[in-house]
Structure 1
Amino acid sequence: MSRTPLPFAAGDVSALARALGRELNAAPEKLGHVQLLNVLVRAAGYRNFQHFRAQQAAGAKLAAAPPPASAPVDLRLVADAARHYDGTGRLVRWPSKESRRILALWVLWSRLPAATTLTEAQINAELRALHLFDDPALLRRAMVDLGLLWRTRDGGAYRRIGQRPPPEALALIRHLGRGLAQ
């Protein structure tokens, strides 16, 4: 069986050395090849070597840059979430898993106008243009619950809340943006 080369990078070599030293000193006996691989990738922030390999495969599939070692991005989650979009970047179906729903809401949030107050009809029109299952009320309520949208008590006015998306959401937004540019 041929080996697939996997690039490995650590954002902070000093932190990597400390983590490696802790793990190697705690080992009761000599470590084998697989155990050393697990120690190395755990020191860089991954759960184990399989997690590291899955991240590399998902990154290659998304054609994304490798994530920084200080904040690993779950590229497998991003790839799974990307399957809920069509070729034009519209949300085809409401994801069944909460983690994918949250990413979908961040993508919708990124496409709403910033620093603009919208009426309920306007926000519904914006959301209808971004998804295909015709339920803007579900999306609107979920975005308010997640803290991505502010609304008046009577629900007559909505405004996008400015904030930095989590790393996985940023990766999905970038990935879907590249698909639209092609």
Structure 2
Amino acid sequence: MSKDLIPLATADISTFARNLNRHLASGRTPPSHLEMLNHLARASGFRNYQHLRAAHAAQARVEAAPEPTADFKLIEKTLHQFDTQGRLIRWPGKRQVQELALWAMWARLPAETPMEERDVNGALNLVHLFEDAALLRRSLIGMGLLQRNLDGSDYRRTEQRPPPEAQALIREVSQRRKP
């Protein structure tokens, strides 16, 4: 057996104890070491001990993965599209600059708040200077950053983690907004 330390956490100890008791009550003799590991793993929501080990190993690999680096040249190009107040001056000509600029627009929309079309337009009009909120709204929907009902009555920002370039741009644009 492996000597790797594998933490076991449970959200509800009562459910864990109930599941463990049910698994232990099914046999007449005391369980072997491996059977006990399987019972503990099942009680905490895994299929068996190997599933618990595999999940822990996958989590360790994901946490150890290097953070992707940002394309600072693209961030700089996109940042030139914003004024000193953090407003988009003009609609960029290049698609990748447009998409990155849309992340900055997305960040200015309220999170987890249903909005009507006029609310979205109002929020977008505050962050751009070329008077085309419909273009921005449609582009945000097209990129999957904004969702709406089929009848267009309810808009909602799609919550997701921005890519590294977008995170850096959002940070820079928000610093420009500060007096």
What is the TM-score normalised by the length of structure 2? 0.62
1:149 aligns with 2:146: yes
Residue 27 (structure 1) aligns with: none
**The residue matched to 1:159 in structure 2 has which SS?**
strand
User: What's the counterpart of residue 125 of structure 1?
Assistant: 122
Residue from 115, 118, 135 that aligns with 2:112: 115
Q: Could you tell me which runs of 5 or more consecutive residues in structure 2 were left unpaired when the two chains were aligned.
A: 1-65
> What is the Cα deviation at residue 101 of structure 1?
0.4
Structure 1 portions without partners, runs of 5+: 1-68
* Secondary structure, counterpart of 1:118 in structure 2: coil
The one-letter amino acid of 2:150's match is R
**Structure-2 change in CA distance of 1:176 and 1:119 (3 Å):** same
Deviation of 1:164 after TM superposition, in Å, equals 0.3
Within 5 Å, give how 1:23-102 maps onto structure 2: 70-102=67-99
CA distance in 2, matches of 1:120, 1:89: 23
User: What amino acid is the match of 1:177?
Assistant: S
Q: CA deviation at 1:146?
A: 0.4
Calculate percent identity across the aligned residue pairs.
Answer: 46
Choose the corresponding residue for 1:165, options 151, 156, 162.
162
Distance 1:176 1:80 in 2: 13
Counterpart position of 2:172: 175
So what's the TM-score if we normalise by structure 1?
0.61
1:61-113 per-position Cα deviation (integer Å, ceiling 9, x unaligned): xxxxxxxx741211010000000001100000000000110011100000100
- Which whole-Å CA distance do the structure 2 matches of 1:175 and 1:109 have between them? 14
2:142 aligned counterpart, secondary structure: helix
Q: Considering only aligned residues, what root-mean-square deviation do their CA atoms show, in Å?
A: 1.5
Letter of the structure 2 residue corresponding to residue 113 of structure 1: P
Tell me which structure has the larger Cα radius of gyration: 2
CA distance in 1, matches of 2:156, 2:103: 14
- 1:103 aligned residue: 100
Q: Return closer, same or farther for 1:112/1:70 CA change in 2, 3 Å cut-off.
A: closer
Q: CA offsets, 1:38-59, max 9 Å, x none?
A: xxxxxxxxxxxxxxxxxxxxxx
Offset from partner CA, 1:107-142 (integer Å, 9 cap, x none): 000010001000011111111111000111111111
